[in-house]
Homo-oligomer: A and B are copies of this chain.
Amino acid sequence: MGTGHDALIDADLERLTAVVELIFFAYRDFTGEADAVLKEFDFGRAHHRVLHFVTWRPGLRVADLLEILKITKQSLARVLKQLVDRGFILQEAGEADRRERRLYPTVAGRKLAEQLRALQTGRIAGALGEIEPHAQAAALQFLLALTTSGNRCAIEQSLANAGVSLPTPAKALRREQTKTV
Contact of A140 among B22, B52, B70, B129 (CB under 8 A): B22
Smallest beta-carbon distance A30→chain B, Å: 5
Task: Give the oligomeric copy count.
Answer: 2
- CB distance A117 to B27 under 8 Å? no
Tally of A interface residues using CB under 8 Å: 72
Contact of A26 among B25, B147, B175 (CB under 8 A): B147
> Do most interface residues of chain A lie in helix, strand or loop, or is the interface mixed?
helix
- CB distance B27 to A159 under 8 Å? no
Tell which of A59-67, A77-85, A95-103, A162-170 binds the partner.
A162-170
Q: Known: A131-B170, A132-B138, A179-B133. Is A124-B18 also a contact (CB below 8 A)?
A: no
Within 8 Å CB of A56, what residues of B? 17
> What separation, in Å, do the CA atoms of A181 and B158 have in the docked complex?
15
**Which residues of chain A in 143-181 are interfacial with respect to chain B, using CB atoms and an 8 Å cutoff?**
143-148, 151, 155, 158-159, 161-164, 167, 169-171, 174-175, 177, 179-181
